[in-house]
Amino acid sequence: MNIAIAGGSGYVGKNLTSALTNNGDNVYILTRNPDQHHNQKKVTYVGWLNEEYQPEKQLPAIDVIVNLAGDSLFGYWTKTKKDKIFQSRINATYALIDLIKKMNTKPEVLINASAVGYFGTSQEQTFTEFSEEKGHDFLAEVTQAWEQTAIEARSYGVRTVIARLGVILGKEGALPLMAMPFRLFIGGKIGSGRQWVSWIHIDDVVGLIRFAMDNKKVNKSFHLTAPQPVQNKQLARTLASVLSRPNWFPTPKFLLQTVLGDMSILVVDGQKVIPEKALDFGYDFHYPTIETALKEIYE
């Protein structure tokens, strides 16, 4: 297949590109700066998000578009940072909708990233793709606007999958930051430890995206989370065990809120999200439990 990826230089994008090219697919990375990259076997860099580029003329017939583009959530959330988080996602998605509009041959599917933050935070509720609740915090507002923009692809006959990502566990991303206190022998739960962490191993992120590409039953919202979310205290206990470190130094919630500001919502709050569609459609998770995932990463 011919697959175009926006945001292909990020952690998920790099792993997805590797898996696709190893499978024999051709990958076209949409980038603002194609001159800064060298094409490789089965990987071509194509300029976009600039008036001088016309990706619709450079791309062959594309089977799948994957949109992972967006400014990193990490960093102190000033007003400027929040604007970048919001605008980068909306602008890139609008650009992809415009690209689809200009394509003579439309892609079969658009897989557009989103996040489980769509639902807001809760310690009591369980959310599936069929849950109708929406959150009201900043992340919820971002993801809701992002998803609303992406679904415009349906007006061009493109199957549209909204891939709501949980906390991705791998050698990059959030996990090294989460593990650092444990490596320094000061690890422990955060606050009460009751907040839910809807996590997923990077290999299953890639696996579920490829599953959504191939399975035409996958449509609309699609949760990219492991089938067994855990509370923060269980995550801390398991991480300490795998790293052979103590788990005794709780981090006060107010301290993280003071140090991280609004970004603290990523670690002090959470939501329990179940990948009901993946389970119903028969996806076989590589790492269904937090123990198997962390052992694969660290051992």
pLDDT, tens only, 5-54? 999 999 999 999 999 999 999 999 999 999 999 999 999 999 999 889 99
- Residue 196 DSSP SS3: strand
Residue 184 Cα to chain centre, angstroms: 28
Tell me the pTM.
0.95
d(CA 148, CA 86): 13
Give the Å distances, CA to CA, from 188 to 201, 244, 281: 21, 13, 37
Give the chain's residues under pLDDT 50: none
Q: Is residue 16 within 8 Å of residue 66, measured between CB atoms?
A: yes
Radius of gyration of the chain (CA): 19
In this prediction, residue 252 carries a pLDDT of: 86
**What would the 3-class secondary structure string for 223-253 be?**
EECCCCCEEHHHHHHHHHHHHCCCCCCCECH
Task: Supply the DSSP symbol for 254.
Answer: H
Residues 6 or more apart whose CB falls under 8 angstroms from that of 263 comprise 73, 74, 75, 76, 77
Reported as type and span, the H/E element at residue 92 is helix 79-102
Model pLDDT for residues 145-154, shown as the tens digit of each residue: 999 999 999 9
- Cβ atoms within 10 Å of 80's Cβ, excluding its own: 8
In this prediction, residue 46 carries a pLDDT of: 97
Structure tokens at 8: 């292909």
Domains and CATH numbers, the chain: 2-298 (3.40.50.720)
Query: For residue 209, which amino acid is it?
Result: I
In this prediction, residue 201 carries a pLDDT of: 98
Structure tokens at 172: 């990059």
